[in-house]
Structure 1
Amino acid sequence: MGKFNHQKENLYMKKIGILFLGLMSAFSFSQNTRFVYQVSMKTDSTAAPKIENAYLDISTEKSIFYGEKRMKRDSTIRQAMETRNFNFDRNSMEQFRTAITYSIEKNHATKTISYKDRIARDQYWYDEDRTFTWKILPETVKIGEYETQKAETTFAGRKWFAWFTQDLPFIDGPYKFSGLPGLIVKVEDEKGDYSFDLKETKKIAELPNFESRFGNNIKVKRSEFLKQQEKFNKDPMSFFQNQGGGGFGAPAPPQSRDNSNEADRRKRMEERLKEEAKANNNPLEKN
């Protein structure tokens, strides 16, 4: 009888141990988690791909995807504003120039995907009006420490292949990608122009806030955002001079006391912005 009770006690303790581990795992994943992706972007079809890191920060309520360089740039500017020290080397800001100017927020409750990007001084944002239709394939492969399964979809004029893992219980992924039964560890388009590869995972205290401190935050439909973006690419300075263009913007920048220097600065800026727009001939979203 004592042996039987001892066996029951051991079984009970095992069940408690399994329950404890399950609760600890759930608690661990309930904390804010940062997934670091290496992003390869062939934005210019005639040039080599650009390589940058980006973060997918996930909490219980939402996730935010954004570029590492943008976070560092915003942190530098915020510190300068708080200390009122505007004498920092502005040339050093060139190291924060990024191809990932946008941020993408996914609301877990409403399943809404919001895209935010700056046009001139204003931050525009829209809710994505397209959905992902995934086809899960039988192919599996181990990527790093994770067992993954392949899936495919078409989105924004490209065919995409993704590898997701159920080892990480997040129905999420980099950029706008989501909807698979596990975190997307890797996703790339059929031509290899764009890819997102998970490199690191860490816990963080809180998610960043990307509310603009300059200009306005303007919500539009996706079609309107694309129209404004096209207008900016054709005549960027009009957005600074005419309160953001078409009534959508912040006041124009103040005039310099040296009008000749100011004119030269504006001309150089306009040339640079037009050159950047011209070089972006292979965007991630083709349509």
Structure 2
Amino acid sequence: MKFFKILSLFAMPFVMAQQGTRFVYQATLTPDSTNVEKKTELAYLDTDGKKSVFYAENAMKRDSLMERMRTTQNFNREQMQSLRSNLQFTIEKDLTNQSLIYKSRIGRDNYSYSETPTFDWKILPETVKIGDYQTQKAETKFGGRTWYAWFTQEIPLQDGPYKFSGLPGLIVKVQDERGDYSFDLMQTKKIAEIYQPLNRGQVIALPKSKYVEMEKKMQKDPASFFSAQRSSGGGRGPAGGGGGNRPGMDPKQIQEFQKRMEAEIKSKNNPIELK
């Protein structure tokens, strides 16, 4: 098992910064089960001790780039493409009641669902020092996977990367049994405030079951799904959108877009939650 040296800007013992704290995790992912090559990127967990937001580092970079492009009126597609992430979601947690709001885009539109996930943690006797922290191992089943987490009571925060929470201390490392997904704490630092990723357009709240149903429809037939969204005036997609406020693309461009979508969906056949 590979552990990482954690860079900390805090003196021990840990004290939550008044403004906020950013925990920087390295996410190692295998989104495509047919391709053993793992994807690696950084993700941030921002918290003030009462609430937290988990999001990809590239989401912040894309937001910054978009703001700059709006100011300069100079859109660079290559720059935007270089900041694509395999973590295309934001998770906002209420740490008081361990509930969360999951936000992501399906097709042209932004959606969200509320969830209070149940983690039946089994705390194991195994301990190990990871970086500067003494950690203890725990096990749970979630989303069709068995997960192992290493948490530290030196940081008295019942939180962690992705949806994980509920242990008596911050989760320093968590990985699934198959090794498809892992999140490793790399650094902690003070921040002035919790970052809020930009939502381009309205966020439509749904029950989780409806969100999953809609996601499956898009994956099964992206062309029909996008067409239905366009007909209902949703989003700002390649064939127009935004209620007809922007000119559409020609049929060839639409066809190319659909092919890209189908290839992207096919390459993400191993989601973090299998069920």
TM-score, normalised on structure 2?
A: 0.87
Which residue of the other structure, out of 224, 246, 249, is the alignment partner of 2:234?
249
In structure 1, what is the equivalent of residue 6 of structure 2? none
Counterparts in 2 of 1:40 and 1:248: CA distance versus 1, 3 Å? farther
Aligned to 2:210: 224
Which residue does the alignment assign to 1:6? none
1:67 to 39, 47, 56: 56
SS at match of 1:243: helix
Aligned counterpart for 1:233 among listed residues 203, 214, 219: 219
Gap change, CA 1:237 and 1:205, over 3 Å in 2: farther
Partner of 2:122: 135
**Aligned twin of 2:7:** none
What is the CA–CA distance in structure 1 between the aligned matches of 2:19 and 2:64, rounded to whole Å?
Answer: 23
- Aligned match of 1:44: 32
- % same residue: 48
SS at match of 2:87: coil
- Read off the aligned partner of 2:214 and give its amino acid letter: Q
In 1, the alpha carbon distance for the partners of 2:224 and 2:151 equals: 44
Q: Is the 8 A contact 2:159 2:167 kept in 1?
A: yes
Give the secondary-structure state (helix, strand or coil) at the position aligned to 2:229.
coil
Match of residue 271, structure 2, among 260, 274, 283: 283
Name the SS for the 2:195 alignment partner: coil
| Cα drift, residue 239 of structure 1 | 4.3
User: How many Å separate the matches in 2 of 1:31 and 1:158?
Assistant: 35
Secondary structure at the counterpart of residue 178 of structure 1? coil
5+ long unaligned stretches in structure 1:
1-20
Moved beyond 6 Å, runs of 4+: none
In structure 1, what is the equivalent of residue 42 of structure 2? 53
Contact 2:49 2:157 in 1 (8 A): no
Give the letter aligned to residue 255 of structure 1: P
Counterpart residue number, 1:79: 68
| Whole-Å separation in 1 of the counterparts to 2:89 and 2:181 | 16
- Counting only pairs closer than 5 Å after superposition, residues 113-192 of structure 1 correspond to structure 2 as 113-192=100-179
TM-score by length of 1: 0.83
Q: Which amino acid aligns with 2:273?
A: E
3-state SS of 1:231 partner = helix
**Match for 1:249: what amino acid?**
G
95-104 or 129-138: bigger deviation: 129-138
2:266 equivalent to 1:274:
no
Counterpart of 1:52, as a letter, is: E
Greater relative contact order (CA < 8 Å, ≥ 6 in sequence): 2
Query: d(CA) in 2 for partners of 1:239 and 1:279?
Result: 19
Specify which structure has the higher proportion of helix: 1
SS at match of 1:169: coil
Give the strand-richer structure, 1 or 2. Answer: 2
* SS at 1:274 equivalent: helix
Task: Name the counterpart of 1:107.
Answer: 94
Structure 2 unaligned segments of length 5 or more: list them: 1-10
Confirm or deny: 8 A CA contact 2:98 2:116 kept in the other structure. no
Q: What is the Cα deviation at residue 90 of structure 1?
A: 1.6
1:13 paired residue number: none
1:147 & 1:268 partners in 2: Cα distance?
Answer: 51
Q: Which residue of 1 aligns with 2:8?
A: none
* Structure 1 pair 248–89 and aligned structure 2 pair: CA distance change class (3 A): closer
Task: Determine the C-alpha separation between the residues in 2 that align with 1:248 and 1:52.
Answer: 34
Deviation at 1:46, TM superposition (A): 1.6
